[in-house]
Structure 1
Amino acid sequence: MQGRFMNFGSKSSLVELKENVYELFDFKTFNSKASKPCQSRDAYEILIIEPFYGGSHKCLIDMLYKALEDEYNETKICMVTMKAKKWHWRARTSALYLSQIIPSQHRFRVMFSSSVLNLGDLIALRRDLADVKKIVYFHENQMVYPVRERKDRDFQYGYNEVVTSLVADTVVFNSEFNRETFLSSLKKYFKMQPDYRPKGLEDQIRAKSMVLYFPVVCDIGAFTKDYESTLHIVWPHRWEHDKAPDDFLQMLNRLSAAGCEFTVSLVGEQFTDVAKVFEDSHSRLFPHVRHWGFVPSRREYLDLLSKAHVAVSTAKHEFFGVAMMEAAFNKCLPLCPKKLVYPEIYPEECLYQNLDELFEKLCQFSKSLNLVKTLVDGVNLNFRKYSAVELLPRYVALFE
């Protein structure tokens, strides 16, 4: 069904979609059950591995576990995870640790992991897994992952992903942008290698690759937009450099200096090191701040999205963007750079060429919220294409 941009067709369609999702997932009780360590058991047929069990990585395999449990019974599924901490060390060393804790008694026929895992190392260490069908999922790829300086790019991370892709039987990407940037960068990437460069990698990996968008649980908050109020901007991203928070905060300072009326909510996840720019900007922007910091309650987060008018991305790196999709489903107008994955998902009206154009748009919206409402009502976006209800059966089919 091709729904209107923020309405997803009729009200009954939305209710039906939500009922289907919550028949599949009981988010109140599920997570603790899924993360229990596996014991050796001859009945195990499916192995799910996540070396970085947090954020979208955690969300995906929690959903996948539940969908597979409904199909195969939990006694046949083993899920092994590691905490979402120190990503670089997970990429370097998780295979050795996992080789020691994955049950030795099993009848595994399919295994699924994100590309954080060095699959080549794991299979070398656990020969009993060599004949298992191996599915690797790319949430992102290191070929084009932004680094602050060229010297910061560690060749090994991208190299591990290449080896993992070659060892895998099926390579799944969460967008065409993700797949094409990975595959088209291989030749250039290996030019860093001084000699004995491999050949034909793109064709080998492309032949067993596919795209499955991230399955978004489409849910809405409890509030209705107030278009007679002040412009409410939401920035729903991780507080890390690849999401370009500096650009967004400079934009807010510019709007404030221009006398634009607005409020802002920064609600993304924060990690150990919070950039000083956030601390400085909070005091400077205090009169405009609606919410500042991560919202741990999903219900409260959705309620906040249902009040906001515009969701902004200033990302330097995005291969899908669950947060922007959730904001759009809650009738926020998504404003995204005209690059990365965004043109693959969002129509022209939602894209901006540069920060000056973004500034002009936000200035206009601050003077006329009806302009936002007109855009929200007039642009089409097919949410069903990205919904968990539509996509999860296709994920489950990979395990047949």
Structure 2
Amino acid sequence: MSNKTNVAVKGETPDILFIEPFYGGSHKELIDTIIKSISTYTLVTMPCKKWHWRSRCGALSLMTIIPKVTTEKVLFCSSILNLAELLGLRPDLNSLKKVIYFHENQLIYPIQEIKNRDIQYSYNQIISCLAADIVIFNSNFNKNSFLSNIKKIIKLIPDYRSTNLEGIIRKKCEVLYFPVTFPEKPFEGRLNEKSNVLRIVWPHRWEFDKCPEDFFNVLLKLKTENIKFEVVVLGECYREIPEIMNVSREKLENEIVHCGYIDSKSTYFQTLMKCDVVVSTSHHEFFGVAMIEAAYCGCFPLVPNNLVYPEIYPNNCLYSNIEDLYARLKCYCLNPTLAYEDRSKLDLSFEKYSSVKLTPEFLKILNNK
């Protein structure tokens, strides 16, 4: 991963200025997907590290790096960036149509007591929306949870509270699902080969909000009952590895088939196609690219019955609590063919989330149409 800020200009008369202070993961994938269909643009990026500092200080860091506006008409950024702050530091950018994309929102970060949270991240996102012309969310859940929690954040201000911010921002809002680039080769079905050991995949960032503790505690419980299974652990680790993962790698040494991030997308998809069930234990999720990819590659998804998941997945994919997840996985482990049968009947429209369908919708917005 490069530690350098990158400025790339394609074409002599770029129309769109892309700014991404956290250029990695789904943030990078979104930008890369869109620019494949654009002939002229300016792209300014920073490495995907220490997102807290990107959110706090990204505008200041980018102030002198972003080139002077020439032919650009549109600015596109993610909600990691404090857009309002950047516009104050670079007033020449105010002339552009400003579009901000929300991969997530900080207003419902999973800390129960709101007064114990650093609300600066939530505040940044609220004022970024006020500064933007168009606000795009990656799901209805993301949009609705953001708008409905603005008042809770503003109430923490001791006096001179602004009113009707929800109404002002709502008028600017749209929903465009994340444009997923699915593999060309459709899945053929590992369990169709009569596999007798269930292979479970967990394809998430190794961080607090994805709750690896819940997932691995379920697996450890299955092992204590001498129930056979295999597990594949994917996803990136940006900071310290959660202790449960170190413990589990030792206790599940015989069950773990793979553990670690896979950089090659084709290898990543091939790995998913060799798995049977994909699990989310997330406490903070607004779309979930990895889950959609795994389901497309032939895994049956098991997801919490909250957050964005009921918006995307049918009822038979939703579990109510960790005990329910344990029971579902135990059933599949004891009879892996059931997982294949459930996957073959999965009612999930992947076209709805495909980059082929969604990229033109992004282009309409960016091309002022």
TM range (shorter): over 0.9
Contact 2:187 2:298 in 1 (8 A): no
Alignment correspondent of 1:173: 137
C-alpha distance in structure 1 between counterparts of 2:114 and 2:172, whole Å:
31
Please list the CA deviations of residues 202-251 of structure 1 after superposition, one character each: whole Å capped at 9, or x if unmatched: 11111110000000011157764133320000000000010000111101
Deviation readout 1:109-155 (Å, 9 max, x if unpaired): 10100011111111111111112100000000010022487565211
Q: Is the 8 A contact 1:40 1:104 kept in 2?
A: no
Aligned CA distance change for structure 1 residues 351 and 222 (closer, same or farther; 3 Å): closer
The equivalent residue for 1:25 is none
> How far off its partner does 1:161 sit?
0.5
Task: Quote the offset at 1:347 in angstroms.
Answer: 0.1
* 1:122 correspondence with 2:119: no
Identity in percent: 45
Residue type at the aligned position of 1:231: L
Q: How does 1:162-311 map to 2 (within 5 A)?
A: 162-219=126-183, 220=185, 224-226=189-191, 227-311=194-278
1:367 positional shift: 1.2
CA contact (8 A) 2:273 2:298 kept: yes
The structural deviation recorded for 1:387 is: 0.2
Partner of 1:384: 351
| 1:368/1:39 CA distance change after superposition, 3 Å | closer
Matched, 1:339 2:309: no
Name the SS of the counterpart of 2:62 in structure 1: helix
- Other-structure match for 1:81: 45
CA deviations on 1:307-341 (whole Å, 9 max, x unpaired) are 11100000001000000000000110000000000
TM-score (norm 2): 0.94
Q: Which amino acid aligns with 1:121?
A: E
Q: Residues 41-190 of structure 1: matches in 2 within 5 Å?
A: 43-68=13-38, 73-74=39-40, 77-147=41-111, 153-190=117-154
Structure 1 stretches lacking a partner, 5+ long: 1-30
**Aligned partners of 2:172 and 2:59: how far apart in 1?**
23
Shift in Å at residue 43 of structure 1?
Answer: 2.6
Equivalent residue in structure 2 for 1:322, among 264, 289, 300: 289
Cα gap change, 1:223/1:152 in structure 2, threshold over 3 Å: closer, same or farther?
farther
C-alpha distance in 2, partners of 1:198/1:189? 11
Helix, strand or coil for the counterpart of 1:181?
helix
Greater helix percent: which structure?
A: 1
- Distance in 1, matches of 2:270 and 2:126, equals 41
Using structure 1 for the length normalisation, give the TM-score. Answer: 0.87
Q: Cα distance 1:131–1:165, how it changes in 2: closer, same or farther (>3 A)?
A: same
Cα separation, 2, equivalents of 1:42 and 1:377: 50
Residue 221 of structure 1 contacts residue 302 of structure 1 at CA under 8 Å; is this kept in 2?
Answer: no
Where relative contact order (Cα < 8 A, 6+ residues apart) is larger, the structure is: 1
Between the aligned partners of 1:289 and 1:278, the Cα distance in structure 2 is 11
Q: Which amino acid aligns with 2:22?
A: F
Indicate if the aligned counterparts of 2:18 and 2:75 stay in contact, CA closer than 8 A: yes
Q: How many residues align?
A: 362
| Partner AA of 1:335 in structure 2 | L
**3-state SS of 2:327 partner:** helix
> CA RMSD, aligned part only?
2.0
The aligned amino acid for 1:301 is: Y
Q: Which whole-Å CA distance do the structure 2 matches of 1:123 and 1:297 have between them?
A: 37
Which runs of 5 or more structure 2 residues have no equivalent in the other structure?
none
